[in-house]
Amino acid sequence: ASSPRASAMGAARSPLAPLALLGALALWLGLRAGFAGGRAPPRLRGERLAARVSASYLERQGPKDSDVPFAGTAATGPETAVDFKKRPFGILRYQPGQGGKGAMAMEIIPTSRYPGDPQGQAFLAGVQSGSVVKSIGGVNVLNEDFHKIM
């Protein structure tokens, strides 16, 4: 049979095991559920969506009905060599060319707020709306994919 002393020792150890088990269970559930719940399924998260942007951003930065497709190789006019020192350059919106090749500057910040203003670089260098990007770092980009240029 068991002695009174053996049963007292067993009673002293028994609360630790359930507490440890309860703590491990809480930790496991905490790691799975997270603070606000589990991750949403990919179909709800938009797995093929690169980035979610607001309607006002798309309205400002997206294509406009007045944008006319252009062929970068057919661009004519005076060339303007520009050396941007730092970002942002002051070009608010670009347009891709036909077939997604090439890039055209569509909206330029029309002023420089102070000497050395990075947002006024394009304006001060003579970049105008409709200017086609010909080369970057000496590399011809007229036939490059728009997303590669950006």
Q: What is the reported pLDDT for 54?
A: 77
Q: Is it the case that residue 110 has pLDDT exceeding 70?
A: yes
Which range is most confident: 10-24, 68-82, 130-144? 130-144
Torsion over CA: 35, 49, 57, 142 (sign): positive
Confirm whether pTM is higher than 0.75: no
pLDDT tens digits, residue range 83-108?
Answer: 888 888 899 889 988 888 888 999 99
Query: What one-letter code names the amino acid at 37?
Result: G
pLDDT digit string, tens, across residues 14-71 = 678 777 887 777 766 666 555 555 565 655 555 555 667 777 777 777 777 778 888 8
**Tokens 């919106």 map to which residue?**
93
Strand duo 91-96 + 103-108: pairing? antiparallel
